[in-house]
């Protein structure tokens, strides 16, 4: 369904200064699959998702949807054309809904753009409000009348009413209370199964990503350091960064939390501006070797479908 080859997004941030936000990501997402994309803040996860679907112009590389190339720079016409198949659920349920629009107009906007009659839109919005656990009576209200979790459900209904094939979920639970996060994740999983959706699920919470995703990909400073089946990456991480990221991820169960080995990601993240050769994790890696600072590690398959970019695996 989705493939990127060496996708890059760089930003000019000053004279002769280039921020390498996304720096050569090659990955694929199969139809009806959820790929979880994890990494610390600033790793480039959201920029990757936005560049993939044309919210940022691609600096270099290729992206394909359903086997066909996506434009490097989306025009207004492209956005309209692809919005029928590709949608996004945003991180902030407060900022992503227009406060001056009613819920009916927010959720029904995509259908209105297609010229669907108002009465049909109302019916469809009512159906989707029920489907995401809200009430059809809510369609005349405004976003400020809802909680964060309810607003995120409105955002989900807005994306799903179009019946897209592919949805980028950009940290859809990070702004929500813990008690509401599981409800939203279960709703997304249910919609994925019933609608046959393909999802890119971007998040910080590794346990939640493992729970919802078929495959997991780990980004560090604009690059992909590890990817594979979610259980393999979570329970048998190969890359030193993935191992530390998982060990520093708090367990929801307090007994498990007390018993797990403590580990912390220490050290400063290398600047993503004008990055040179070598492993970007070298300054923080407990297993750093002399070649790590000089030679950029390339992704290699170490077990079927489990890929790692690290010199520890150069001989495998």
> Applying CB under 6 A, which residues contact ligand SF4?
239-240, 279, 281-282, 285, 287-289, 292, 297, 310-312
Tell the smallest beta-carbon distance from residue 238 to ligand SF4 (Å).
Answer: 10
Q: Which is nearer to ligand SF4, 110 or 297 (CB)?
A: 297
Q: Which is nearer to ligand SF4, 49 or 297 (CB)?
A: 297
Question: Please, what sign has the CA dihedral across residues 127, 133, 136, 138?
Answer: negative
DSSP per-residue codes, 224-267? EEEEEEHHHHHHS--SHHHHHHHHTSPPSSHHHHHHSPP----S
Q: Which is nearer to ligand SF4, 84 or 288 (CB)?
A: 288
Tell the smallest beta-carbon distance from residue 67 to ligand SF4 (Å).
Answer: 34
60 and 238 Cβ atoms separated by less than 8 Å: no
Tell the smallest beta-carbon distance from residue 245 to ligand SF4 (Å).
Answer: 12
Residue 24 to residue 277: CA distance in whole angstroms: 13
Q: Which is nearer to ligand SF4, 201 or 281 (CB)?
A: 281
Nearest to 103 by CA among 55, 164, 48, 152: 152
Q: Which is nearer to ligand SF4, 172 or 240 (CB)?
A: 240
Tokens of 98: 């227009």
Residue 27 to residue 58: CA distance in whole angstroms: 15
Tell the smallest beta-carbon distance from residue 178 to ligand SF4 (Å).
Answer: 31
CA dihedral 103, 108, 109, 112 (to 10 degrees): -140
Q: Which is nearer to ligand SF4, 61 or 297 (CB)?
A: 297
Tell the smallest beta-carbon distance from residue 282 to ligand SF4 (Å).
Answer: 4
Residue 23 to residue 280: CA distance in whole angstroms: 11
Q: Which is nearer to ligand SF4, 180 or 269 (CB)?
A: 269
Tell the smallest beta-carbon distance from residue 211 to ligand SF4 (Å).
Answer: 26
Beta strands in 39-184 (DSSP E): 60-65, 68-69, 86-89, 166-170
Residues 6+ apart with CB under 8 A from 59: 8, 9, 10
């Amino acid at each position: 369904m989705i493939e990127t080859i060496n996708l890059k997004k760089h930003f000019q941030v000053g004279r002769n200064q280039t921020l390498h936000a996304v720096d050569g990501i090659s990955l694929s997402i199969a139809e009806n699959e959820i790929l979880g994309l994890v990494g610390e803040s600033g790793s480039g996860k959201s920029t990757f998702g936005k560049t993939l679907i044309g919210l940022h112009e691609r600096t270099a590389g290729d992206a394909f949807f359903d086997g066909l190339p996506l434009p490097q720079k989306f025009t207004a016409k492209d956005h309209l054309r692809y919005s029928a198949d590709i949608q996004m659920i945003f991180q902030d349920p407060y900022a992503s809904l227009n406060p001056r629009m009613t819920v009916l107009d927010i959720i029904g906007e995509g259908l209105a753009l297609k010229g669907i009659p108002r009465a049909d839109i109302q019916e469809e919005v009512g159906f989707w409000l029920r489907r995401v656990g809200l009430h059809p009576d809510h369609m005349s209200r405004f976003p400020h009348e809802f909680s964060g979790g309810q607003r995120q459900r409105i955002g989900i209904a807005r994306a799903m009413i179009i019946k897209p094939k592919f949805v980028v979920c950009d940290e859809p639970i990070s702004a929500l209370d813990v008690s509401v996060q599981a409800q939203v994740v279960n709703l997304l999983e249910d919609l994925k199964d019933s609608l046959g959706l393909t999802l890119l699920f971007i998040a910080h919470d590794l346990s939640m990503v493992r729970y919802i995703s078929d495959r997991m990909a780990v980004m560090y400073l604009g690059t992909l350091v590890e990817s594979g089946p979610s259980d393999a990456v979570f329970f048998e991480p190969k890359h030193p960064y993935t191992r530390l990221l998982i060990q520093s991820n708090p367990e929801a169960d307090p007994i498990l939390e007390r018993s797990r080995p403590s580990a912390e990601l220490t050290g400063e993240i290398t600047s993503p501006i004008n990055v040179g050769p070598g492993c970007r994790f070298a300054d923080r890696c407990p297993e750093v070797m002399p070649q790590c600072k000089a030679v950029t590690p390339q992704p290699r398959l170490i077990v079927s479908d489990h890929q790692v970019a690290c010199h520890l695996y150069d001989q495998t």
